[in-house]
Structure 1
């Protein structure tokens, strides 16, 4: 398994992987659709990054880093195919974000999540994220805000 930088041919897999997990636990929101329908314009063209986890050429996970006004990056749209959850792939994707953030000189990584996603919260805490007070958000499902200084 390898983690690679997003290429245009990954756009459909990025959208489908994210639609699957969001729809399973929540409702796709307007902001989800906006980002998933145009990852190039909404993430990459604005200085962000997207990484894809590939297994024998098949996309099985992804994560985005959305550039923030303070020079930090929001970690977003992170998911792993259900058949590979618990395999450590989520940790590898997050480590790639941490490494990339440091290489870019970012002061921090930030994320928004939901308190019902216990495995994700455990991963974020294990990777050095700490909870913040609530912030403005475009997502109705968000009730946990976290950051990791770099």
Structure 2
């Protein structure tokens, strides 16, 4: 099947309903595939305080007609202009439409606009389609000792950084 551009609009988180959609999308896939950790609950429960306030952002993909949120990704800010691409999700009904690609591209652009010098992520080998998207966007695997943060999620068995 040929790649079809996603008919979505990507924007920064702006309301409590955006925050609720971000939480719901992520809780669904994390709970289905893994265990929702305390770190997850803290970030998902307060994206304005835990992500936006410290200098990051949450990007949401909306259907243009209905405004329904069909995907999301977070940029978590760390010292020294380091950002983490995290909490990416696309609703099952919207998967396969290029929304993940669109979110990653928007997140890379946003990290640059926020002054980012380094962008990394952690994922899991169970998430083969996501890994493929990250590699196509220019991310390469790194070892845990190259992580710019300590105490990173145990479920992340693959770590990547944008080349």
Using the size of structure 2 for normalisation, the TM-score is 0.87
Match of 1:48 among 32, 36, 56: 56
The alpha-carbon deviation at position 105 of structure 1 amounts to 2.7
Which residue in 2 is equivalent to 1:102?
Answer: 112
Q: In structure 1, what is the Cα distance between the partners aligned to 2:137 and 2:34?
A: 25
Deviations 1:87-134 (A, max 9, x none): 100000000011112222311211011111100000000000011101
Whether the 8 Å CA contact 1:114–1:143 is kept in 2: the answer is yes
Whether the 8 Å CA contact 1:31–1:138 is kept in 2: the answer is no
Segments of 5+ residues of structure 1 without an aligned counterpart are none
Q: In structure 2, what is the Cα distance between the partners aligned to 1:137 and 1:115?
A: 19
Q: In structure 2, what is the Cα distance between the partners aligned to 1:51 and 1:123?
A: 17
What SS does structure 2 have at the residue aligned with 1:65? Answer: strand
Q: In terms of mean alpha carbon deviation, does 80-89 or 137-146 score higher?
A: 137-146
Q: In structure 1, what is the Cα distance between the partners aligned to 2:52 and 2:107?
A: 14
Match of 2:121 among 111, 114, 117: 111
Q: In structure 1, what is the Cα distance between the partners aligned to 2:89 and 2:135?
A: 17
Segments of 5+ residues of structure 2 without an aligned counterpart are 1-7
Residue 137 and residue 123 in structure 1: after superposition, are their counterparts in 2 closer, same or farther (change >3 A)?
Answer: farther
Q: How does 1:12-91 map to 2 (within 5 A)?
A: 12-55=20-63, 56-91=66-101
Which residue in 1 is equivalent to 2:9?
Answer: 2
Q: In structure 2, what is the Cα distance between the partners aligned to 1:88 and 1:144?
A: 22
Provide the alpha-carbon RMSD of the alignment: 1.1
